[in-house]
Amino acid sequence: MTKANPQPEVQRVEPQGPDGGYGWVMVGAMFVSNMLVFGVIRSLGVFFVEFVEYFEESAQAISWISSIGLAAEQIFSPLGTALCNAYGARPVVMAGGCLTGLGLILASQAKCLTHLYLTMGGITGLGWALVFTPMMATVMRCFTRRRSLALSLGFTGIGISCFAFSPLFQLLVDTYSWRGSLLILGGLSLNLVACGALIRPQGGQIKVVAKEKTESRSSCSAFLWQVYSYLELSLIFQRPFVTYCVAITLFNGGYFIPYIHLVAHARQVGFSEYQAAFVISATGVTDMVGRVLSGWSADMGHIRLIHWLTLWTSLTGVFIVMLPVATLGGSYAGLMVFSLAYGFCAGALTPVIFSVVPQLVGMDRMVGALGLVMLIESIGALLGAPLSGFLKDHTGSYLASLVLAGSSLILGALVLTTLPHFFSRTDPPLKCSSDSKKEAESSESGLMDNPDPNPDKLDPLETICYSETLPSFAETVPDQNHSLCS
């Protein structure tokens, strides 16, 4: 391309998923993969007592196993999305399934606690990272009008597995000991490979990157640019994306606190251990209901997704704050009512969180954006629980902890209101490419309407967005970067 032949103007077309058909197979694959990722994470407590007795270590030392695994799942999410952009979702998810099974199988042979940190924590956590985000991105590419509903159905696997896996794991431990149980669990996790194998390429928008017309670039700079592109690091210069990540980090800081401390709080105020445990079980039921109804109502299109997210997040924060208030008079019915309400709203906000991302960055950058969101929000997960425990230790009750958790979500909802076009009743129109190189390089979709600083330095390549309905144009470009994460 030269100045004599200016780049053509190409209208950006939002990739349209089939909204059905084989897309529902992907929803089923996501359902199973969520069971084998977060269902396992939430049910690993069955093994903790066995580990404490066998390794003769403190509960704090044993708890680092799941903490390392969850942190690795979030921290390595950008790596999973970068590999997804480079090689497609199918091999990435299949590799993640292999690593997940391998980590658990190796953990069954552990002789010391460090071995468990490296296997159940590091290797398995890396495998989870290569499965969760790419699989979710695949489902999002398969749907347009029913995207939120599809995600909500896929996420229900987490709630169902929480009911099924805890008694199943306990039965396995009683029958085969913890070593045999981890061996069986590792084999069960290899089903993630089958989930990945179901992924197949799907038509959609492709970003074409043409070689620089004059300057030759060193292999080192080319490699760094490729990493920069695959990780979508330019998003960290976009104020709307950063604002959204700050809000999600605040959500994550308070979202899991009731799951950690609600049972202990209920027992502290005088309820039996069975009554306290039933609170969480009942919360799990309304969580699943909330996910499905939220996805269905969001796809109706009457209210913008960002407004749904703000509503559900605000209500979740309010109900968390009300949890300790409901128990001040010793009312178990009051605790159950607010717990059920919390579970419903907490489940309702989950699918909407991820559905908003394509509106922020566009479908062409959605995969890398999901990885960055997962990485940044891990800060909230890592800091929220320790801070909550600190408040409990210094106040003697969980009142301050739960109030802080609810306030964190409410503050995050307020941060969302600072996004561009938040108070508009309709979503901003999609836009991409123009008759100038600068517009093509800095173009974004949806709310991402602020160009990168110094675009000529950040992106020396000429970029044109086009639809796959233009095969003749695609054939004229020598180097193509096809994102087949679908």
Q: For position 372, what pLDDT does the model report?
A: 84
Q: For position 106, what pLDDT does the model report?
A: 95
Tens digit of pLDDT per residue, the chain (486 long)?
Answer: 444 444 444 334 444 556 678 889 999 999 999 989 887 877 776 787 788 788 887 766 776 787 788 778 888 888 888 888 888 899 999 999 999 999 999 999 988 889 999 998 899 999 999 998 889 888 888 888 888 888 888 888 877 776 777 778 878 888 999 999 999 999 999 999 999 999 987 544 434 344 444 444 567 787 778 777 777 788 888 888 999 999 998 988 888 788 777 777 787 888 876 777 777 777 878 888 888 888 888 888 888 989 999 999 999 999 999 888 887 777 888 888 988 999 899 888 888 888 888 888 887 788 788 888 888 887 877 777 778 777 877 888 888 888 988 999 999 999 999 998 888 888 776 544 333 333 333 333 444 444 444 444 433 333 333 333 333 323 333 333 333 333
- The kind and range of the H/E element at 466 are strand 462-466
Alpha-helix residue ranges (DSSP H) falling in 13-88: 22-34, 40-43, 45-55, 59-75, 77-87
Helix 366-395 vs helix 59-75: crossing angle, to nearest 10? 160
**Sign of the CA dihedral with 264 first, then 265, 271, and 274 last:** negative
The predicted model scores a pTM of: 0.67
Phi, psi (rounded to 5 degrees) for 462: -90, 125
Q: For position 45, what pLDDT does the model report?
A: 66
Nearest to 248 by CA among 349, 363, 141, 157: 349
- Non-local (6+) Cβ contacts of 37 within 8 A are 73, 100, 128, 131, 132, 192
Residue 167 buriedness (CB in 10 A; 0-12 / 13-18 / 19+): exposed
CB–CB of 313/255 below 8 Å?
A: no
Helix count and strand count (H, E) for the chain: 21, 2
CB–CB of 320/260 below 8 Å?
A: no
Q: What is the DSSP letter of 122?
A: I
Whole-number CA gyration radius for the chain: 23
User: What is each CA distance from 195 to 131, 226, 251, 458, in whole angstroms?
Assistant: 9, 28, 29, 37
Alpha carbon distance 151, 373 (integer Å) = 17
Q: For position 184, what pLDDT does the model report?
A: 94
CB–CB of 119/107 below 8 Å?
A: yes
- The kind and range of the H/E element at 465 are strand 462-466
CB–CB of 407/255 below 8 Å?
A: no
Q: For position 38, what pLDDT does the model report?
A: 82
**Sign of the CA dihedral with 86 first, then 87, 90, and 92 last:** negative
Q: For position 28, what pLDDT does the model report?
A: 93
Alpha carbon distance 107, 171 (integer Å) = 19
Q: For position 310, what pLDDT does the model report?
A: 94
